[in-house]
Amino acid sequence: MLKRNQLVLGNKTLRDVTNDICEPIERIPSKGWMGLFLAAKGLFIFYILTIAVVISTGMGLLGVNHPVAWGTMIITFVFWVGIGHAGTLISAILFLFRQKWRTSVARTAEAMTVFAVMTAGIFPLIHTGRPWFDFWLFPYPNQRGPLWVNFRSPLLWDVFAISTYATVSTVFWFVGMIPDLATVRDRAKNFWRQRIYGVLSLGWKGTAKNWSHFEMIYLILAGLSTPLVLSVHTIVSFDFAVSGLPGWHTTIFPPYFVAGAIFSGFAMVITLMTLVRIGFPKFKDYITIDHMEVMNKIIMMTGLMVGYAYGAEFLIAWYSGNIYEQYVFFVSRAFGPYAWSYWIMICCNVVIPQIFWFKKFRRSIPVMFVVSIFVNIGMWFERFVITVTSLHRDFLPSNWGQYAWSMYDTAILIGSFGMFFTIFLLYLRVFPAISIAEIKPVLGVGRDDHEHGGGH
């Protein structure tokens, strides 16, 4: 039988594992962390101010206009929702498939999901013309007749999809963390630390009964999360696909969006993991090159799927015989005024990931870091291409126009990274970034092959 590489390097004992993983949250933060945190926090505050100005003055500050009524906020919303997908895929689907390599990246990927969905969730709320009435988007009993929301609108489905996803992935993430939080609590030497982690660990005692319940609930939540991985981005894609706009009205959108989401999500995981490996060198033993390579393979595969979708859109546009759709794909996307964004997208998403055909590059940290950044850029541009190039030239040529990009668009886009990284950096300092409870079973401690150093 094929011998697999060790999932955890460095001949760790169980005690080493606990020490290594708990160390970042128990020591004084390093200068590197402080620097990154201050930068991210500054950006986050800038982001909050920008949003405040936009809400108090009007959406007109951004480049959205007639005909391009959706812009940076919706693009970046879809971008962040997409990022979130890899986390749930790793923690839920790979769990159900008993992929043991997932254990060391699952926690952080899942955290990334929660934070990405938080970052994304802000956008639909602030992109409306009157954000103070956003609560009207929720169906609640009221005295206006009662006046209900329009259940036919994909935007409403979005409200449900995103809120469900946010809730389930947060619960899943938190529940998975309970045994580790108990570990932190038990190691705590400080009164408040003990209290806080004590409350968070929900009275975990580590009894067999505890473990039995835990495994059960974790399995159920994994089962619940799995369809969400597919449904959320499917419904996000409905925002576009259900409308009648050429370039949006495409049946391929749900799978295409899901593949794109996983693609971008894994790229973000790679970006973050390389950073974590640099920031916490000890984690290199847990998040090994093997882990990274597996994820790079997924990136390459989903990249090909996305590339296939790009091609299929052209095929269908041609096959449909619809002149408006043909115009969008054959003229305005590839050769119109926004052709540059289209070709950035193709380059970053389809061409560059092909480098992972070579094992050498798949296993090179600098290469994969650069590729993952390109994929992130490419996936943002994919949403830009879908949103802007479809809207800017539709049915009646007299309406055609351009997106009026302003400095507020830039501020919103950059600022959202400030929010994400602020939360993510705090997470690294507060919660065990790798699941202690899940790593220990894959160590092989106490197994035959561990002692004898050979397989059968």
Partner 1 sequence: MSINNDANEQRPKSTEVKIERDRNFWKSFDELYDTPEYKKAVETEFMSSPLRDEFKDEGTSGFARREFLKLMGASVALTTAAGCIRRPVQKIVPYVKQPEEVTVGVANYYTSSYFDGQEGFGLLVKSREGRPIHIEGNPSYPLNGSAVSVRAQASLLSLYDPARLQKPFRNLFNEKRTNKETVGVTWEDLDTKVVAQLQKGSVAVLTGNIVSPATNAVIGDFCSGFKAEQYSWEPLAYGDTVEARYDKAKVIVSIDADFLGSWGSAITSNRQFANGRRDPSQMSRLISFESTYSLTGANADIRHRIKPSQQLDVVLGLISLVSGGSTQVHETLGISAEAFQKVAEDLKNNRSKSIVVAGGVQTQTVDAENLQIAVDHLNSILGNHGNTIGARSNMKASYQSLNSLIKAMNQGSVKTLIIYRQNPLYTLSKSFGFHEALNKVEMVVYVGDVMDETASFSHYVATDNHSLETWSDSEFSRGLYGIHQPLIRTMYDTRSFQLSLMTWAYMAKVGPARIQNYETFYDYLRAFIKSDIAPKYAKGQDFETFWNQLLQQGFVGQVGSLVSKATSGSISNIKKSSKSANMELVMYAKSHIGDGTLANIGWLQELPDPVSKIVWDNYASISLKAAEKLKLKQNDVVELTVGDVTLKLPIHIQPGLHDEVVAVAVGYGRTKAGEVGNGIGVNAYPLAQVGQNGQPILAGQNVEIKKTGKKYELVTTQGHDSMEGRQIVVQATNKDFQKSKEANIHRHHVWSIWSGHQYNGHKWGMSIDLNTCTGCSACMTACQSENNIHVVGKKYVMQGREMHWIRIDRYYVGSPETAQAVFQPITCQHCDNAPCEVVCPVAATVHSNEGLNEMIYNRCVGTRYCSNNCPYKVRRFNWFNYAKLIQSPTHMSLNPEVTVRTRGVMEKCSFCVQRIKVAKQKATQENRLLKDGDVKTACEVACPTQAIVFGDLNDEKSRVAQIFTNEKRAYTLLEEWYAKPAVRYLSKIRNNDEVTAPKGAGHA
How many CA atoms are closer than 13 Å to the CA of 169, on its beta-carbon side? 35
Q: Shortest gap between Cβ of 189 and partner 1 (angstroms)?
A: 51
* Separation of alpha carbons 182 and 194, rounded Å: 9
Nearer to partner 1, 125 or 414 (CB): 125
Task: Report the candidate in 256, 254, 85, 231 with the shortest Cα–Cα distance to residue 169.
Answer: 85
* Separation of alpha carbons 150 and 420, rounded Å: 32
Nearer to partner 1, 216 or 331 (CB): 331
Q: Shortest gap between Cβ of 64 and partner 1 (angstroms)?
A: 7
Residue pair 399/141 in contact by the 8 Å Cβ criterion: no
Q: Shortest gap between Cβ of 230 and partner 1 (angstroms)?
A: 23
| Packed helices 208-241 and 253-279: angle between N→C axes, nearest 10 degrees | 130
Q: Shortest gap between Cβ of 417 and partner 1 (angstroms)?
A: 25
Nearer to partner 1, 219 or 331 (CB): 331
How far, CA to CA in Å, does 25 sit from each of 181, 185, 280, 281, 439? 11, 12, 11, 14, 18
Nearer to partner 1, 151 or 192 (CB): 151
Quickly count: other Cβ atoms within 10 Å of residue 215's Cβ: 10
Nearer to partner 1, 148 or 358 (CB): 148
Nearer to partner 1, 67 or 418 (CB): 67
Nearer to partner 1, 129 or 281 (CB): 129
Q: Shortest gap between Cβ of 352 and partner 1 (angstroms)?
A: 31
How far, CA to CA in Å, does 406 sit from each of 60, 84, 340? 10, 27, 18
Collect all residues with Cβ–Cβ distance below 8 Å to 136 and sequence separation of at least 6.
Answer: 149
Q: State the alpha helices, DSSP H only, in 92-139.
A: 94-96, 103-126
How distant is the alpha carbon of residue 250 from its chain centre? Answer: 24
Q: Shortest gap between Cβ of 393 and partner 1 (angstroms)?
A: 8
* Separation of alpha carbons 416 and 423, rounded Å: 11
Residue pair 84/116 in contact by the 8 Å Cβ criterion: yes
Residue pair 273/108 in contact by the 8 Å Cβ criterion: yes
How distant is the alpha carbon of residue 144 from its chain centre? Answer: 38
Collect all residues with Cβ–Cβ distance below 8 Å to 40 and sequence separation of at least 6.
Answer: 417, 418, 421, 422, 425
Q: Shortest gap between Cβ of 70 and partner 1 (angstroms)?
A: 6
Q: Shortest gap between Cβ of 80 and partner 1 (angstroms)?
A: 18
Nearer to partner 1, 64 or 270 (CB): 64
Task: Report the candidate in 147, 111, 129, 107 with the shortest Cα–Cα distance to residue 21.
Answer: 107
Q: Shortest gap between Cβ of 137 and partner 1 (angstroms)?
A: 5
The pair of three-digit structure tokens given for residue 330, joined into one six-digit string: 């054959």
Three-state SS annotation for 162-214? HHHHHHHHHHHHHHHHHHHHHHHHHHCCCHHHHHHHHHHCCCCCCCHHHHHHH
Nearer to partner 1, 1 or 396 (CB): 396
Q: Shortest gap between Cβ of 124 and partner 1 (angstroms)?
A: 8
Nearer to partner 1, 222 or 391 (CB): 391
Q: Which residues bind partner 1 (CB under 8 A)?
A: 57-60, 63-70, 127-131, 133-134, 136-137, 141, 145-150, 152-156, 159, 239, 242-245, 321-324, 327, 391, 393-402, 404
Nearer to partner 1, 11 or 399 (CB): 399
The pair of three-digit structure tokens given for residue 236, joined into one six-digit string: 């996000």
DSSP symbols for 251-291: TTHHHHHHHHHHHHHHHHHHHHHHHHHHHSGGGGGTS-HHH
Q: Shortest gap between Cβ of 156 and partner 1 (angstroms)?
A: 4
